[in-house]
Structures are given as C-alpha cells and as structure tokens.
Homo-oligomer: A and B are copies of this chain.
Amino acid sequence: MYPDIILRLPEWLAGELQSPAQRFSTLEERMAFVIRLAERNIQEGTGGPFGAAVFTQETGELIAPGVNIVVASHCSLAHAEAVAIMLAQQICGTFDLSADFLPPLELVTSAQPCIQCYGNIWWSGLQRLIVGASKADVEALTGFQEGPVPENWVETLEHRPPLPPIRVIQNVLREEACAVLRAYAENGGLVYNPDVM
C-alpha cells in the first residue's frame, strides 16, 4: 500500500573508490576523502557540499561513504552523515555499529553535524567522530543552518553514561573543508533550509 523508502548514492561515487576495502591510514587521509566527496557532490550537482564516511577506527578501512542527497532523494534526513551511518548499518547487518562482532567504528565528516546528525550519531553505535569545518564555518560560509546543537555538544558526546562515550576530534583539514563550503556558496549552490523553498 505504501512504497519502500529508498536512498541511493550518486553513480559518480563508484569512481572515487579504488577497492572494496580501501584503507586510509591517517585521519587526514580519511578527511581528504570525504572532502573530495563533498567537492564531487557539488561538481556533479547531486547535492549539498557535505561528505562523510564510516571507517574502522584502528585500520582506516572504508565501510561506507555518504554525501548529502536531500534534494535528489526527496528526504530531509539524507545528510551526508546519515547516509553513511545508514549504509554502514545496512552493510554490517545491524542497527548498532558497536555490536560485539564489529571493530570500533568512527564517522569522519567534512563539517560539524547539525542537530539532526547529532541525534543520528547519538544512537548509531559509532565510537569516534572526526570533524573538518565547524558549525560557525558552515553557517558563515554557506547560509546553511545547523539548528539547535547544544553549546557543549562535544562534552555531551564524550560523557554520556550509561551510554558509551563518543570521542570527538575537531579541525582536521578545516581549511580544506571550508574551501569546499566557500566554493559552493560562490557558485550559487542551493541552500535548502525549509524556509527558503
């Protein structure tokens, strides 16, 4: 009676991947990859200037990439972080990315999570969060809003008993991440907050 909800990565994404279990040793390599996804997403016109991916924390194996596909997929939930999380969970076969049979997993995102992605991360089972551009960068450079993320958002993620902590590392390749945001705005990219449509 109702259709399935289907979210699909853009076709160009396959071209960014070199092997099924590609490894990225350093945090900078992981961040450069997701910034590259954000950049391609702009160039290809497939969504907003945001990229993210789930990696194994220790070895940097790519589990699932994500880009913002809100407009194309008719889904306000489909931020880059959410797409990467949902895809990782589907691939791992569990709603809990901290399940015993999995190694510690982390989310690398080109920009600080908005209020929605903050909530997505909260219940995801991810154990670490790596951030490029800040909330202030996103809002100042693009006009995209981030919503009512708590001032002490890092502290809330890192200390949340009885839930396990989610460690946060910020400002990884921040300038490079900001450059993509700036390019999007300068090229007149759509800012699709629900007030502007």
Quick one: which of B5, B8, B71, B164 contacts A83, CB cutoff 8 A? B5
Quick one: which of B1, B77, B124, B163 contacts A76, CB cutoff 8 A? B124
A118 on the B face (CB < 8 A): yes
Q: What number of copies of this chain does the assembly contain?
A: 2
Taking residues whose C-beta sits less than 8 angstroms from the other chain, chain A's interface range is: 35 or more
Which listed segment binds B: A29-37, A38-46, A143-151, A174-182? Answer: A143-151
Quick one: which of B86, B93, B98, B116 contacts A194, CB cutoff 8 A? B98
| Known interface pairs A74-B89, A96-B197; 16 further A-B residue pairs with C-beta atoms within 8 A, sorted by A's residue number | A1-B17, A2-B13, A3-B87, A3-B90, A4-B6, A5-B83, A5-B90, A74-B94, A75-B95, A76-B89, A76-B97, A77-B85, A95-B192, A123-B147, A125-B194, A163-B195
